[in-house]
Chains A and B, each alone.
Chain A
């Protein structure tokens, strides 16, 4: 049966269909599904066993329910856990071979896949519904010894690296969604930067959820070896959909001695309509470990989409003198809900962390910052600074701040501050007086409010993000 399906895939010819046909795993979350995914991806036995262990563990876990935004129960048995555009079975050798429909979609999203955009210096590993489509700039990266490919490819070509690090930051036994991902993850990106190499360009991946009823389970693994540097961009957009869709990705970052990883996200998935119907559930687990001395991990996120955003990009500061940073903008409008923040766990000596979080809620939205700063007994001379500001627009929205702060030794210093307010009327008046209309004025002020975070983004992203900030708040002033 499966072989037959595989054969039929080969018969696909470009342009014959306008709709991309999906190739789906059997519906439902069963051991069979897990085996199916593993088999179709020709995975080695150790990985299948690993998945099965996760699946076994999953059965004993319960979905967490402490979060602020509640959601209707997810019917895991009604989801498809694997789907890929059919045309991918014959791997395209160049961009011309890629399904034109895909290219068109990417163009709409503004992804720099074609020659012209290639000049802008972005290498792209585009994931369209779980399987990598094309990877550019490989040559240049290969010269430096950098591995940047889909995780499926990495499993085939660099099994030792994957085996060593997969699940080392987010273990199989983690919380429900992370374990679910470990059992059924389909594809994602893999990056390895060899020692003392500075990655010459921003690596970027665009995710897109297309097929309805398909949970997305990406797995990203980034390893920065001693003395290396990489900046990674992740951007997401999604088309209009009515059904709620689950997105439970796992992202693991590992920074060894003196290495630095900068991970930036712009997330603009479908937030549901104005009445709060539909939209995507963004339940992502992102965690980085500063394993080596003097290493650094920096998370930057601009969250404007999704019906529910529920994620806490975290840093485990294990190596001495390591640094963790978290910059976040979360914008919620209409009926969107966000419960996001970070965890900074200080284990090594002289570790430093910095958290800047900006939350903006408008319409009927709820925006929660939830964070943990935990300075361990042995993390001498550590330092944390946290600032979370919230902006409320209108009288039906909510803004919440729930920080957990634990200091377990006297030589460490923690500072935390948070404010909540509305847009300053004096500032609005000033802008109006100088000829800006209300909406422009709000957009300007909000962009100013977010500036500290926006300026952390790489150039290409910063422009896009600024526009996003304005677009997301359209119609909320009046």
Chain B
């Protein structure tokens, strides 16, 4: 695969000399790297793309398919924020404009959020590429709670065939309690590769972060999150059914006592979809909690992967960490692989993980059929039940409804 870019694509205000052009061009991670053991990105990209060109266009559109509940929003086109509404009506956003009240700051990212994590850039092509090319994204800072959730409409449109989009985002919270919904809609009907690097910095805050896909997408997505948690609670809900390829890496540090992190995911994979969730949760201080629940339904030769690591340092006594990953395989071609990892250096802890994979319980199916359901409906019900386990954890009723109907669409359409 060829990667096309010009000198102009390099970010101007950065010390770009550190990037070796040849390196940025060639080395996508492959399965020789432990983190990519189940996902050979090099192979996957080579299989799909003959060439990739760095995308640098910025567009705006009018968007009228907003969700039917009270919320604030950002509209982003191909990763570039174009409009926002924080209660004072919809406004236009340009990279130079600043939205600034006492407690809220929204601006375009000038400095790459990962600039301080460039130690191992030599072994990390995706990071090098993102720092070199990321020309879009937002920087959101909040110092008080918001009464309504923020929806980020992540829209992909226009001709993105064989494009390589690099995005970097940053969310900083202090004393705030918010819900953010990343709502991905792909109208482009093209295959492109999107690489997103995000930092979440939580201080005495609660963040509920949802990722929801509307409809299906032929895109290839890689997301890396760095999440720093200080006296805060972070909850991440992932509902990314329908994307061709997706790998979401989260590195979560629980940096002070009484913090918590939660990752919940329910996805329905089909048509050779390949999705991976990789999490590393570092318990650095005592009395922290982490909870992970990953559920995958797999069909038509799709691949679901979960690599979860819980690291408990010596100091982090009284840690409570739990992790469960479940795969439900609906046909012979699909695969579910997991690597649930525990690395523990403190003794007074409660850490456990579980992982199961299998097919539909025939007895349950039989039970339902003997009560008058067709085989199709019985399967649907079981599949729904399997995923509902995750949905029932959502506290926001509006969101619950939206996610429920999205999943229903996927399930009913398929079975």
Look across to chain A and name the residue whose beta carbon is closest to the beta carbon of B340: A403
Closest to B322 in A: A419
Interface code A366-410, partner B: CB below 8 Å = 1, 0 otherwise?
A: 000000000001001000000000101111111111111111111
Judge whether B339 and A403 touch: CB under 8 Å: yes
Across the interface, do B339 and A402 meet the contact criterion of CB distance under 8 Å? yes
> Residue among A380, A409, A422 with the most chain B CB within 10 A?
A409
Chain A: which residue is nearest B351 at the CB level? A420
A39 interface hit (Cβ, 8 Å): no
Chain B contributes a number of interface residues (CB within 8 A of A) equal to 37
Confirm or deny: B381 has a beta carbon within 8 angstroms of a beta carbon on chain A: no
**C-alpha spacing A403/B345, complex, angstroms:** 18
Q: CA A8 – CA B216 in complex, angstroms?
A: 82
- Is B357 in contact with A405, judged by CB distance below 8 angstroms? yes
Q: What sequence of 0s and 1s flags, for each residue 315-355 of chain B, a beta carbon within 8 Å of any chain A beta carbon?
A: 00100000000010111111111111111111111111111
A417 at the A/B interface (Cβ < 8 Å)? yes
The answer on a CB contact under 8 Å between B356 and A400 is no
The answer to the question of B358 belonging to the interface, with a C-beta cut-off of 8 Å to chain A, is: yes
Q: How far is the CB of A461 from chain B (nearest CB, A)?
A: 29
B344 near A409: Cβ-Cβ < 8 Å: no
Alpha-carbon distance between A416 and B337 when the two chains are bound, in angstroms: 12
Q: Is the interface of A mostly helix, strand, loop or mixed?
A: strand
Determine which of B329, B343, B347 lies in contact with A395 in the assembled complex, contact meaning CB atoms within 8 Å: B347
The smallest C-beta distance from B366 to any residue of chain A, in angstroms, reads 16
Query: How many A residues touch the partner, as a band?
Result: 35 or more
Contact B337 A410 (CB under 8 A): no
CB-CB < 8 A to A398: which residues of B? 343-345
Cβ contact within 8 Å between B337 and A401? no
What residue of chain B has the Cβ atom nearest to residue A401's Cβ?
Answer: B342
Known: A392-B347, A411-B332. A401 touches B358 (CB 8 A): no
Bound together, the chains give a CA A111 to CA B275 distance in angstroms of: 55
Complex interface: chain B residues within 8 A of A410 (CB): 329-332, 334, 358-359
* B357 and A407 within 8 A (CB): yes
- Whether the Cβ atoms of B351 and A421 lie closer than 8 Å is yes
Residues of A within 8 A of B327 (CB): 407
Kindly state whether residue B314 has any CB partner on chain A within 8 Å: yes
Q: Of residues 396 to 442 in A, which have CB atoms within 8 Å of B's CB atoms?
A: 396-422
Interface membership of chain A positions 289-305, coded 1 if the CB is closer than 8 angstroms to chain B and 0 otherwise: 00000000000000000
Q: How far is the CA of A234 from the CA of B76 in the complex (A)?
A: 66
* Closest B residue, CB atoms, query A383: B358
Q: Closest chain B residue to A418 by CB distance? A: B353
Determine the residue in chain B with the shortest Cβ distance to A420: B351
Q: B352–A413 contact, CB under 8 A?
A: no
Give Cα A408 to B339, complex, Å. Answer: 15
CB distance from A11 to the nearest CB of B (A): 57
Q: How far is the CA of A394 from the CA of B348 in the complex (A)?
A: 9
- Report B-chain residues with C-beta under 8 Å of the C-beta of A422: 347-349
CA distance A455 to B296 in the complex (A): 37
Residues of A within 8 A of B332 (CB): 377, 380, 409-411
Whether A420 lies near B336 (C-beta < 8 A) is no
Does the CB pair A397–B347 fall under 8 Å?
A: yes
Residues of B within 8 Å of A377, CB to CB, are 332-333
In contact, A421 and B356 (Cβ under 8 angstroms): no
Contacts A401-B342, A405-B337, A421-B351 hold; do A411 and B359 have CB atoms under 8 A apart? yes
CA A56 to CA B381, docked complex, whole Å: 60
- Cα–Cα, bound, A416→B342 (Å): 13
Please give, as numbers and ranges, the residues of chain B lying within 8 Å of A401 by CB-CB distance. 340-342, 353
Identify which of B337, B341, B352 contacts A402 (C-beta below 8 A).
B341
Query: 1/0 per position for A208-244, CB-CB distance to B under 8 A?
Result: 0000000000000000000000000000000000000
Contacts beyond the supplied A418-B340, A419-B352, A420-B352: 10 A-B pairs with Cβ under 8 Å = A398-B344, A404-B37, A405-B338, A405-B339, A405-B340, A413-B356, A414-B356, A414-B357, A416-B354, A421-B351
Chain A contacts to B: CB under 8 angstroms: 66, 377, 380, 390, 392-422
User: Can you name 14 A-B pairs with beta carbons within 8 Å?
Assistant: A377-B333, A395-B314, A398-B343, A402-B339, A402-B341, A403-B340, A407-B335, A407-B357, A410-B358, A411-B359, A417-B352, A419-B352, A420-B351, A421-B351
* The 4 nearest A-B residue pairs measured at CB: A413-B358, A410-B329, A392-B347, A419-B352
